[in-house]
Structure 1
Amino acid sequence: MEKYRVAFIGCGNRAKAHAAAIREDSRCEVVALSDLYAEAAQAFNEQFGFGAALFTDYEVMLAEVKPDIVISCLWTPLHLQMFRACAAAGVRAVHSEKPMAPAWGDCLEMARIAEATGSQLTFCHQRRFASGNRLVRQWVEKGRIGQLLRMDLYSPPNLLDCGTHTFDQALSFNGEFGAKWVLGAVDGTNPLNWFDVSAESMAVGTLVFENAVRANVQTGGPDQDMHTGVRLIGSKGFIEVNWDGEIGEAVIYDDPSWKPEMPASSEREQMAGVVEDIVGSLAAGREPELSYRKALRASEIIYAFYESVRRHARIELPLAGMNDNPFIQLLEAGHFAPAAGQGA
């Protein structure tokens, strides 16, 4: 059994869930930790008993330690430069917190680097491994609700940081078919800041997938009838399932007595799935479930939404002719100034 040398870049709160799962995998040895704040890396090291070397500069760490796997829990604007450095240093697998990047061009560049170098790149859409989500995927594949016709997609604000989980969940339920077109609207009059990226407080829209399944979308705002997750509507019934795989209403039209089992889900289960995906895929040379290619599909939908707002138009995919973050460009140009009489 091959042993993998693991390093962490970023030792904040989110890294703890990764550390707990990595510690349980006998194939992994955590050899280095990097954080701008030395005391954070030290506390992290002590909490998990890694006995790892500590650094405040991850590029120095990469050069001196040469890890096989890097777990990155940095804020979104730092993802591209981190991955570029890891790939240049020969890191075999890099697992990053989501979302991919704060601009579409950065997402594409991360994908290009992964393809050019062969460095395995994954993003933490960990909810793919929740028991309920796995079960719903099986039901859809077996036709339990008939032909999938439509989905209602929900998340808290905003599209980039929270919506990425819902889009990824929808893509997984719908056989990984990409989107065909997107038409969206956002409320940017009270912008948010998530991990140093400006974002809208509400978004609504419609998208159609390549297999003709239609989806309505709402992130944030009032009157959501689901806080997170997906309502799958098929020709024979429907299922509501939240981010973590908890099943709400579920109806089979010709079998009204049917009550689905309610599998429990936990962060531990999901993160164990993440680690197995990272390590098992690296060992077997297979495409990970959390591959950057899947994250890129979710990101493309998000940036198409923003481009729809900028152009006041329906956006055909694949997304072309833009590389920035249209929401941020519109925000900085004063596009979302409050209407007269609404106040600042």
Structure 2
Amino acid sequence: MVTRLNSAVIGCGRMGAFTSESLRGQVPNFWFPLSHAEAVLRHERLHLSALCDTSAEAVAKAAKAYHVPATYIDARKLIEEVRPQLLCIATRTVGRADLMLDAAEMGVRAMHVEKPLCNSVSEFGRLTTLLGSGDVFATYGAVRRFMTVYRFAKGLADSGRYGPLREIRVNFGSAALYWTHAHSVDLILFAAGQRRVTGVQCRLSGAIEGASRTEIESDPTVVSAAVYFDDGVAGIVTQSLGADLVLCCKDAEIAVRANGGRVEVYASRDGAIFPSARPFDGTLPAADAEGTFAPVSELVGCLDGEAGAIAHNAVNRRDILEGQRILFALVQSHLEGSRIVEPDAADPSMVIHARTGDRYA
């Protein structure tokens, strides 16, 4: 008989409970299960013991949909009473850092949390201590790095077949820093591997300042952004339409198009003068249920003491922290006239509220 781990989901909105309803048909099927609740229910080693949301209506809707009898409107009460071994946090960014810190203090050792990580540099400092300790395993809502097609494209770029990697481009259209580009930055770090970030540069629009210059009320749009690495590779965030990751090597571009819908290799073949783009002519590995199920599965492996999962999670935690550091540095670069700044250059007082209308990222 399989021993199941006690699990819970805090936040029963779109990402916590009902993502699939809005995205089914817009992304490839391997993206599902995508909501936190679905991913936990899908895993044979997990038992979804409780749900929580500050809205009684939202938690009741999720509890009915997933047949979960225990519901809470107080997250800390849930943690105290349920004592989950694996906790999913799908709240808005505001308050998430305190919730993670409280959960760890109450003994939770595995968390899957939505992105971005936090709102302030002060919160980030405390989370750096938590996630850098190795006592807590964590995964993050930027889930493309877990998907077979993205790992396959990175493998092609790293193979040497097309020469060294020179540039990483992410095309997500004209989009907001917190709402969208936590994904972009995570993809850049994933593709860069062990390379070290040396500089960050950004121009934003719609950056509305609050009580001070380093308090940003809005979720500004990224006009252009670059992340520079120690070997000369650059990660570029564009405003191009699509949902694409493009890995530019010396002799080819390897592109994952349309959220993983296909892979293209743009390269010179058979002595042709001009390169030509075409779908990848090799064999793409099959992908099954990935989405949020993949990072949650890694956390289960960590709790079970699997060396591979623990090692992989150490890399993921490093990139979660580096990604948030870069988000703050992007804003700092914009405030300093879009000059290149170091990745840890953000003012210690910086806060990004990331509000769009009455909605927070």
Alignment partner of 1:202 out of 192, 208, 222: 222
In structure 2, relative to structure 1, the CA distance for the partners of 1:183 and 1:132 (3 Å cut) is same
Q: Which runs of 4+ in 1 moved over 6 A?
A: 264-267, 326-329
Greater Cα shift, 256-265 or 10-19: 256-265
1:217 corresponds to which residue? 237
Does 2:31 correspond to 1:30?
no
TM-score, normalisation: structure 1 = 0.82
**Identity, % of aligned positions:** 23
Size of the aligned set, in residue pairs, is 319
Does 2:195 correspond to 1:177?
yes
**What is the identity, as a one-letter code, of the residue corresponding to 1:228?**
A
Q: Tell me if the contact between 1:246 and 1:264 (Cα under 8 Å) persists in the aligned partners.
A: no
Deviation string, structure 1 residues 106-142 (Cα, Å, up to 9, x no partner): 2232121234581222211111122320210111121
2:11 corresponds to which residue? 10
The Cα of 1:40 is off from its aligned counterpart by 2.0
| Structure 1: gaps spanning 5 or more residues | 330-344
Secondary structure of 2:200's aligned partner: strand
**What is the identity, as a one-letter code, of the residue corresponding to 2:267?**
I
**What is the identity, as a one-letter code, of the residue corresponding to 1:244?**
N
1:153 corresponds to which residue? 170
Partners of 2:183 and 2:346 lie apart in 1 by: 25
1:129 corresponds to which residue? 146
**What is the identity, as a one-letter code, of the residue corresponding to 2:49?**
V
The Cα of 1:318 is off from its aligned counterpart by 4.1
**What is the identity, as a one-letter code, of the residue corresponding to 1:126?**
V
Alignment partner of 1:88 out of 82, 91, 105: 105
Q: Tell me if the contact between 2:121 and 2:351 (Cα under 8 Å) persists in the aligned partners.
A: no
1:312 corresponds to which residue? 337
Partners of 1:186 and 1:326 lie apart in 2 by: 16
Q: Tell me if the contact between 1:3 and 1:28 (Cα under 8 Å) persists in the aligned partners.
A: yes
In structure 2, relative to structure 1, the CA distance for the partners of 1:36 and 1:272 (3 Å cut) is same
Secondary structure of 2:179's aligned partner: helix
The Cα of 1:162 is off from its aligned counterpart by 0.9
Greater Cα shift, 247-256 or 42-51: 247-256
Partners of 1:76 and 1:40 lie apart in 2 by: 18
In structure 2, relative to structure 1, the CA distance for the partners of 1:288 and 1:79 (3 Å cut) is farther
Alignment of 1:64-103 (within 5 A): 64-103=81-120
Deviation string, structure 1 residues 215-238 (Cα, Å, up to 9, x no partner): 33224xxxx2x4333222111111
Does 2:293 correspond to 1:272?
yes
CA RMSD, 1 decimal: 2.9
In structure 2, relative to structure 1, the CA distance for the partners of 1:265 and 1:39 (3 Å cut) is farther
The Cα of 1:279 is off from its aligned counterpart by 1.1
In structure 2, relative to structure 1, the CA distance for the partners of 1:173 and 1:115 (3 Å cut) is closer
Deviation string, structure 1 residues 160-193 (Cα, Å, up to 9, x no partner): 22111112112212224232112221112789xx
Alignment partner of 2:128 out of 102, 105, 111: 111
Larger relative contact order, structure 1 or 2 (CA cutoff 8 Å, min sep 6): 2
Deviation string, structure 1 residues 80-131 (Cα, Å, up to 9, x no partner): 1111110111111111111111223322321212345812222111111223
Secondary structure of 1:269's aligned partner: coil
1:238 corresponds to which residue? 253
